[in-house]
Structure 1
């Protein structure tokens, strides 16, 4: 399977669609009676009045599968366009779909799933600033993207420091570029505040920042037995890290800087869960893009066919098994 996706073959898109559905076999076999999804944060309901439970369960799952499939293709295009793996393949898409199917909450519509579109957009913009002479407009746009993501899912605000980290990694210090980040972020909330003021709902606007004062969450809803599916993921990530370390200083500067950025993106996505008092497992979908790049890097450069094919089969088998049982 991995060998097939190592090549740029249009038929792999069809295989990706099949694998996307295969990795949802468990939830199709044990279909939840009802799924409740908040597409946006409560403070933004006046702006976009989307009702809860607006989709039947089966439709919800199919739409979520379609979105993760589209994201995988976009992600694959970004990784190949900036040559992060050293060659063009469909492995980034394959590993993104795999990482986005690890847990049952990943398989339904969630705010984090929608935010991943913004995260991929940000990733493409990040990778583009290295060769630009002027990036103030790009950083302003990125600040606005983080603000939009915050309206959908508040912990996305943690990506704001990532914008400054990207400037540290890719650019010499320029205070105007740093200021453009916060200006873009404030722009969205300024117009949102005006909208709430016109609707005499300014008290709801103040509630936006309440999660920053919430206590550290301790009620993560996850079955410890289900975390066993992370063992093959952890093994692939470790192998990918050693493979990257072997080639790191032989890589071009842009590639080294890009993987440094992806590392911080993964860490911020991982630790930002504390910004949501009622933590849901789907939050960790934000870690899927950087994790998928490192896993794909291992499979692109791995030499032992029996090992990397077995690793992927164990990963897929574990995902399906823990969904069903």
Structure 2
């Protein structure tokens, strides 16, 4: 399987469909009777004047989520190859994104983080473009707007504004106008939201939108024990990936190195922003799927022992499917 996706062959788009279906087939067969879909935050719910929460049956919900993941995987693959993040073209970023987006069953259904992953991909494309941009004011404005749109869908996305500023530090010499353009882009979206609140006589509640940002970090996270088991191979993959990256890091182009640093920061910021939501949902960590896919793809692209990495990958996929069979 890995050897197949190491090649940059358009036929792999068809094989990718089979992988997406395989990783969801069991969950489709054992789908619960009801799956709620919350598309936006409560403070923007009135902007969507239709009842959509129960519009899809569980099977349709899972299939639509699979379609979105497939589209995102192709976009991730395009970005990784366009900016040469891995050193040579392949379809491994797409494969790894599909796998990373299927690790836990909450990842397999429609959710705000899944929708926001389109914005994450778009933002990464723009942030990587900062390196060679003559003037980044427009890019900064666009990035600020994307963070704002993501915040309307899923409030923890607001912390991606920090990521935008860090990207400017990584890729650009300091320019105050470029930094201010990101803030202006963010304010633009929320200005129109404030106008909407004012027109509907709810301007007082507009300022309560950001109250969850003051939530204290939880002292513990309660998740099912079997979930920890799936984290073991994930940790192994991360260890192997960073070992391979550290060995080849200084042999890469400067832009590729900066891009890998950006992926690490995306993973950390996306992962740590979970505490903003009062009700913890495992689906939040879908925001970490893109950098995870890049890290895993890096290892599998340069791994030497075919029998080892092929066996490791197949065991991981088998583990994902196994835990879909068993809820313990």
Q: Output the TM-score relative to the length of structure 2.
A: 0.96
Distance 2:35 2:224 in 1: 18
Q: How does 1:10-159 map to 2 (within 5 A)?
A: 10-51=10-51, 52-159=53-160
1:216 and 2:217 correspond: yes
CA distances 1:58-114 after superposition (whole Å, capped 9, x unpaired): 110100000000000011000011111111111000000000000010000000000
Q: How does 1:154-173 map to 2 (within 5 A)?
A: 154-173=155-174
Q: SS where residue 4 of structure 2 aligns?
A: helix
Give 1:138 deviation, angstroms.
0.1
**What are the ranges of 5 or more consecutive residues in structure 2 without an aligned counterpart?**
none
> 1:219/1:48 Cα in 2 relative to 1: closer, same or farther (>3 Å)?
farther
Give 1:203 deviation, angstroms.
3.3
Distance 1:23 1:205 in 2: 41
1:61–1:108 contact (8 Å) kept in structure 2: yes
More divergent stretch after superposition (110-119 vs 80-89) = 80-89
Structure 1 residue ranges (4+ consecutive) displaced by more than 2 angstroms after TM superposition: 213-222
Q: Give the CA RMSD over aligned residues.
A: 1.2
CA distances 1:253-277 after superposition (whole Å, capped 9, x unpaired): 1111111111100000110001111
Give 1:29 deviation, angstroms.
2.6
Q: SS where residue 110 of structure 2 aligns?
A: coil
More divergent stretch after superposition (50-59 vs 295-304) = 50-59
Distance 2:38 2:50 in 1: 8
Give 1:207 deviation, angstroms.
2.6
> 1:88/1:136 Cα in 2 relative to 1: closer, same or farther (>3 Å)?
same
Partner of 2:188: 187
1:7 and 2:7 correspond: yes
More divergent stretch after superposition (223-232 vs 134-143) = 223-232
Q: SS where residue 207 of structure 1 aligns?
A: coil
More divergent stretch after superposition (202-211 vs 30-39) = 202-211
More divergent stretch after superposition (26-35 vs 255-264) = 26-35
**What are the ranges of 5 or more consecutive residues in structure 1 without an aligned counterpart?**
none
Distance 2:134 2:68 in 1: 34
> 1:138/1:47 Cα in 2 relative to 1: closer, same or farther (>3 Å)?
same
> 1:213/1:49 Cα in 2 relative to 1: closer, same or farther (>3 Å)?
farther
> 1:11/1:221 Cα in 2 relative to 1: closer, same or farther (>3 Å)?
farther
Q: How does 1:242-321 map to 2 (within 5 A)?
A: 242-321=243-322
Give 1:238 deviation, angstroms.
0.9
Distance 1:191 1:112 in 2: 23
Distance 1:63 1:118 in 2: 18
Q: Output the TM-score relative to the length of structure 1.
A: 0.97
Distance 2:163 2:287 in 1: 13
1:217–1:277 contact (8 Å) kept in structure 2: no
Give 1:219 deviation, angstroms.
7.5
Distance 2:170 2:300 in 1: 26
Distance 1:115 1:247 in 2: 31
More divergent stretch after superposition (262-271 vs 49-58) = 49-58
Q: SS where residue 210 of structure 2 aligns?
A: helix
Distance 1:57 1:221 in 2: 25
Distance 1:133 1:307 in 2: 45
CA distances 1:135-193 after superposition (whole Å, capped 9, x unpaired): 01101100000000000000000101001100111111111111111111111101110
1:41–1:151 contact (8 Å) kept in structure 2: yes
Give 1:116 deviation, angstroms.
0.2
